[in-house]
Amino acid sequence: EALLVGAGAFKVDRARMIDKLSRFQTGDPEAFLLPWLRLAVASGATKIELSRRETGLEIHFDGKPLAARFCEDPFEALVGEEDSDGEARRHRHLAWGLLHLLPLSPRAVLGFSGGARILVEPKGVEKKHWVDPAPKLGTALRVIFDGWDADLRAARCLERAREAWGLADCELSVDGKPVAAWEPRPGVGTRFSAPGVRGGFYKEEKDVFHAARLYWLGAFVCEENPATLPTGWACRLDYDGLVPDASLSKVHKDSAFTAAGGAARGEFDRLAAEGKLGSGVLRPTAFTKTGLTSALAGAVLSFAAFAAAETARPDLAWAAAGAYIVTTTAVLGLLARWTLARLRGRRNPFKP
């Protein structure tokens, strides 16, 4: 369904690829980096680097190099036969990323890994000399966008990858800044690991049933409920048998899904019986009306007090001004403490 031109150069007819894309029913195009993060984790990477480049972005990771035959034809992993060594399954993440990327109309995707070269030109053969990315960690993929908003599209895709990163044992950095894998804070949550399943339990502020956040090879997939936990408790979960649908944003509720839920609930009950579950409440970083209103109200009241004092006793304006300065300084200090507490994960720092 596509034209192979020379070794390591895979030229894709755009119309045929759109047809393939529609049959695979892919999801959010700006999430195309998520399959490539999973590709890195499946390759045994210990370090992944994402960065913006002129009119595009790059991903670099170490670990096992990509196989030459999948570099020459990235979509063979989707349409070819399964192999005994699982290489087709690993390289499927490369193809899924390319399929999700297509609606963003990239000019080219360049790659280099283990001496093999990748070149995908969705708009057809441009007869342009593309500069290959230097594989400083072993494998490198570069996406080149078209149009005035190329940098904006690259930034949005990097942000999606940053937000989706979670349960993984390798390091991720975006534009040189490390992105920490999710860890429950001491006293708030507990990590767990059982055969074929791993994750963490933590308590939310709202005392309701919470869906689990499911991850696959380090990247978020969706929220579902494989395990029913007590009200107020939530879970982040990664399990080996997770099978997503073609959009990569939902999971099949098969026997592996049910088994993962049973294993997670078993770990929760065990940790609860041993008294190892944190008793604190996870307060996600977020703006709140209560905190913002309290700070602004303090500033308004202090200014009103100064204005009223100046009107009633002009001769004491200097004293009112001093009180206003002290009050304003206190409000600014309150705002600073509120901001620091928010950055540390408290939803509303004004609550105990």
67-92: burial string, b at 16+ Cβ within 10 Å, e else:
beebbbbbbbbbeeeeeeeebbebbb
Q: How far apart are CA 159 and CA 138, in angstroms?
A: 24
Highest mean pLDDT pick, 58-67, 193-202, 240-249, 284-293 = 58-67
Q: How far apart are CA 348 and CA 284, in angstroms?
A: 9
Given a cut of 60, whether residue 345 has pLDDT beyond it is: no
Q: How far apart are CA 284 and CA 286, in angstroms?
A: 6
pLDDT value, residue 8: 46
Contact (CB, 8 A) for 265 and 236: no
* Greatest distance between any 2 Cα atoms in the chain: 91
Q: How far apart are CA 152 and CA 219, in angstroms?
A: 22
Minimal CA–CA distance to 64: which of 96, 36, 34, 42? 42
Structure tokens at 181: 């894998």
Write out pLDDT tens, residues 252-280. Answer: 888 888 888 888 899 989 888 888 886 65
Distance of CA 315 to the CA centre of its chain: 60
Write out pLDDT tens, residues 50-81. Answer: 999 888 999 999 999 999 989 888 888 877 66
Structure tokens at 8: 């390591």
Q: What percent of the chain has pLDDT over 70?
A: 71
- Judged by average pLDDT, the poorest of 192-201, 231-240, 301-310 is 301-310
C-alpha dist (Å) from residue 38 to 34, 93, 118, 221: 6, 7, 18, 11
Given a cut of 70, whether residue 210 has pLDDT beyond it is: yes
- Judged by average pLDDT, the poorest of 13-27, 59-73, 221-235 is 13-27
Rg of the chain taking only CA atoms, in angstroms: 26
Residue 14 confidence class, pLDDT cut points 50, 70, 90? very low
pLDDT value, residue 93: 93
Given a cut of 50, whether residue 7 has pLDDT beyond it is: no
Task: Give me the mean pLDDT over the 319-342 stretch.
Answer: 70
Q: What percent of the chain has pLDDT over 90?
A: 19
Structure tokens at 36: 């490539």
Contact (CB, 8 A) for 8 and 120: no
Write out pLDDT tens, residues 165-190. Answer: 988 888 999 999 998 877 776 666 78
Q: How far apart are CA 42 and CA 66, in angstroms?
A: 11
215-243: burial string, b at 16+ Cβ within 10 Å, e else:
bbbbbbbbebebbebeeebbbbbbbeebe
Q: How far apart are CA 137 and CA 221, in angstroms?
A: 26
Write out pLDDT tens, residues 38-53. Answer: 999 999 999 999 999 8
> CB-based burial of residue 272 (10 Å sphere; 0-12 exposed, 13-18 middle, 19+ buried)?
middle
pTM score of the predicted model: 0.72
Contact (CB, 8 A) for 78 and 95: yes
